[in-house]
């Protein structure tokens, strides 16, 4: 097979999307669910005049929280990866022969004969010993490298996009409580989010949609129930 075809086939893999895709899907889903739940809870007690204000405040607070939280979380992962890199470099400096044997056994466990495993490990050690251990011992590659800024931006922007959807429901003309229009628009948004996440990740679209719908519906239902209980209790 021509090498160009191999490169094209490698582009079909989804691993390189893992860093930002998880943050984007989580952000969009959280924006939809948390903001719609907040607005439904308020609308459920008949406070239609403050639903829109609450939704805008929810977007501002949620997007900031998601972006900062994602940055801190992924940055912590960065710190762990860097610590492992330093530790592995120290091990190589202190005991190169022991590390070579460790790499050889890793290749043996993957199915290579002892002779071939030694040969592969020796050649990789000669070229880039640290890179070989990070990849084959710890599973660290440029594809799995944590990217805090990328994750934070993806999370904050996607939360904002998701949070705008229930705002549209609050702006829609309706009789009585705006809860139903918010729920209806949000369910459509959840379906779109599930479809997009399934397509982007190369996963089953029906399963992705079902997961997002189930979680979002549960969140809105719980919040509406809490709002009703608060109203009845006179809180």
Q: Does residue 144 surpass a pLDDT of 80?
A: no
- 0.85 exceeded by pTM: no
Sign of the torsion angle spanned by Cα atoms 170, 32, 199, 154: positive
Q: DSSP for 54-90?
A: HHHHHHHHHHHHHHHHHHHHHHHHHHHHHHHHHHHHH
pLDDT value at 2 more than 50: no
pLDDT tens digits for 82-135? 898 899 899 999 998 999 999 999 999 988 899 999 999 999 888 888 888 888
The confidence band for 12, taking pLDDT boundaries of 50, 70 and 90, is very low
Which DSSP letter does residue 172 get? Answer: S
Cβ–Cβ under 8 Å, residues 130 and 164 = no
C-alpha–C-alpha distance, residues 146 and 105, integer Å: 28
Whether the CA torsion 203, 70, 20, 38 is positive or negative: it is positive
First to last CA, the chain: 71
d(CA 4, CA 25): 32
Q: pLDDT per residue over 53-85, tens digit each?
A: 888 999 999 899 888 988 998 888 888 888 988
Share of the chain above pLDDT 70, in %: 83
Neighbour tally for 54: CB within 10 Å = 17
Q: Distance between CA atoms of 188 and 101, rounded to whole angstroms?
A: 56
């Amino acid at each position: 097979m021509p090498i160009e075809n191999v490169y094209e086939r490698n582009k079909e893999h989804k691993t390189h999307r893992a860093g930002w895709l998880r943050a984007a899907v989580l952000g969009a889903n959280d924006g939809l669910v948390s903001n719609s739940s907040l607005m439904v809870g308020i609308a459920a007690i008949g406070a239609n005049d403050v639903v829109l204000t609450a939704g805008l405040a929810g977007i501002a607070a949620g997007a900031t929280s998601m972006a900062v939280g994602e940055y801190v979380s992924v940055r912590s992962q960065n710190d762990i990866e860097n610590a492992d890199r330093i530790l592995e470099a120290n091990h190589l400096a202190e005991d190169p022969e022991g590390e070579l044997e460790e790499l050889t056994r890793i290749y043996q466990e993957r199915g290579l004969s002892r002779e071939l495993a030694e040969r592969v490990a020796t050649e990789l050690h000669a070229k880039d010993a640290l890179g070989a251990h990070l990849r084959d011992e710890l599973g660290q590659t440029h594809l799995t490298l944590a990217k805090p800024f990328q994750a934070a931006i993806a999370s904050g922007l996607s939360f904002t996009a998701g949070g705008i959807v229930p705002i549209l429901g609050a702006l829609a003309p309706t009789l009585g409580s705006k809860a139903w229009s918010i729920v209806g628009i949000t369910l459509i948004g959840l379906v779109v989010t599930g479809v997009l996440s399934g397509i982007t990740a190369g996963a089953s679209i029906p399963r992705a949609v079902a997961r997002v719908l189930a979680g979002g519906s549960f969140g809105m239902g719980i919040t509406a129930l809490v709002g009703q209980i608060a109203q009845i209790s006179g809180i």
